[in-house]
Amino acid sequence: MVFGCASAPGPAFSERPTPESGRSLLYVYRLDRVNSAGSATLKINGQKVGKLKHGEYLWLEVPPGDYEISLRYGGFPWSMGWSKVQFQARGPDARFMRLEADALRIHTRAGHLEDDARGARRERYSVNLYHAFIPSDKALPQIRQCHATGNRPD
């Protein structure tokens, strides 16, 4: 069983005490390189635990064990499937996972830009969601820029 928190939007990051029960804390936070309105859905072992937008975080308290974290950016029909990463909780400890949306320019023929319906020229980009576990000394200054998400599981 996974326990977590996703309070109303707005409260700034607050570090939780390390659980005494041998459980692990997993913080998941999102800081994007590009301004993006899309949400990232997060599941642990197939159980939806929340959605994160840029500048949001959530925390989970998990018992020792092996977990599969699944992430999906957006909910659009053209979104590619779920990205999955393994996570081992060996408590008591705290781990930090950063999510980050970034845009990559899609290369087209040299000097060619796509024309939209009005004939205006535009470049094409792909927005991607990246994830990585970050050491606490680097993660804490980053996550302090975030606020708790209000996106709870449905």
- Is the pTM value of this prediction over 0.75? yes
pLDDT above 60 for 112: no
In a domain, 38, yes or no: yes
The number of distinct structural domains making up the chain is 1
CA distances from 39 to 30, 129, 154 (A): 10, 10, 14
**Structure confidence by residue, pLDDT tens digits, 8-42:** 456 899 889 888 788 999 999 999 887 666 788 99
9 CB contacts (<8 Å, ≥6 apart)? 56, 147, 148, 149, 150
Residue 126's pLDDT is 67
φ and ψ of 84, to 5 deg:
-125, 145
* CA max distance for the chain: 63
Residue 21's pLDDT is 84
pLDDT above 50 for 107: yes
For residue 48, the enclosing domain spans 3-148
Counting DSSP H helices and E strands in the chain, the numbers are 1, 12
Residue 57's pLDDT is 95
CA distances from 71 to 55, 86, 130 (A): 17, 12, 9
In a domain, 23, yes or no: yes
In a domain, 153, yes or no: no
